[in-house]
Structure 1
């Protein structure tokens, strides 16, 4: 078994959830990476946005007062699945604890999320999941499914 990466050193895979707001919101992407779709629940991160990035099909989570990034909470991930997702994430991401609110009216809680740490690549507009699904999901997922 491989040692967890430094980014994962504080994560408790038996208890912690991951907030995803970009390509990992799609079951097809999760299935290609993990071989299954873990439990999900809608959630939002107030004070953040899923920003479009220069020449990248996926977003980066960046601070944005007055906005809320919508996404999903992934739970029930194994230690192996955490490592797979961590390997999938670009080096420009930092894994940090993040306060989110459940989309089902639950109370806010702290989970983990990958935030974008390369501000020079952040575009003014938000990344649109519907646009990605319509224009790029099939090609993006097929590339992952080929590995």
Structure 2
């Protein structure tokens, strides 16, 4: 089993559980974590962000530990063709560094990313409901939305 670093909609446990096809109580434990040398930007016209390499920058997110193998195909389908799953090293608050997968926005689509950081608080206030209505209704998790 591998770990998953999330930095957008999948930081919310209820969304992560639904995408992974797990009951909420079966969702892997998660911890606050940080990813160095990356930046998170809003995707133009969407509720979710995209992640890009950015030397010196850092992104806060959640690290889900030991994601079941059965969840990865669902996560891949959910993220869609805009994202690539790559291996990264994430930093935990206790100083540990763990390897994890993250979904990074494809470099050739960089022009679709807006300026500045994705607004996590705005997503929690208003964007989450719109996001869930738009993306989580798809039975096969087709479409795409970042992690």
User: Where on the TM-score scale, by shorter chain, does this alignment land: which range?
Assistant: 0.7 to 0.9
- Quote how far apart the aligned CAs of 1:67 are: 1.6
Structure number with the higher helix fraction is 2
What is the DSSP-based 3-state SS (H/G/I as helix, E as strand, rest coil) of the residue aligned with 2:31? strand
User: Residue 68 of structure 1: which of 42, 53, 58 is its match?
Assistant: 58
C-alpha distance in 2, partners of 1:133/1:46? 24
TM (norm. structure 2) is 0.81
TM (norm. structure 1) is 0.81
Question: Cα gap change, 1:43/1:137 in structure 2, threshold over 3 Å: closer, same or farther?
Answer: same
C-alpha distance in 2, partners of 1:146/1:88? 9
Note if 1:80 corresponds to 2:70: yes
2:100 match:
111
User: Residue 43 of structure 2: which of 53, 62, 65 is its match?
Assistant: 53
C-alpha distance in 1, partners of 2:74/2:48? 17
What is the DSSP-based 3-state SS (H/G/I as helix, E as strand, rest coil) of the residue aligned with 1:54? coil
C-alpha distance in 2, partners of 1:146/1:119? 26
Flag as ranges the 4+ runs of structure 1 deviating above 4 A: none
2:18 match:
32
Q: Aligned-pair RMSD on alpha carbons? A: 1.7
- Quote how far apart the aligned CAs of 1:76 are: 2.6
Note if 1:132 corresponds to 2:118: no
Q: Point out where structure 2 has 5 or more consecutive residues left out of the alignment.
A: 140-147
Question: How many corresponding residue pairs?
Answer: 132
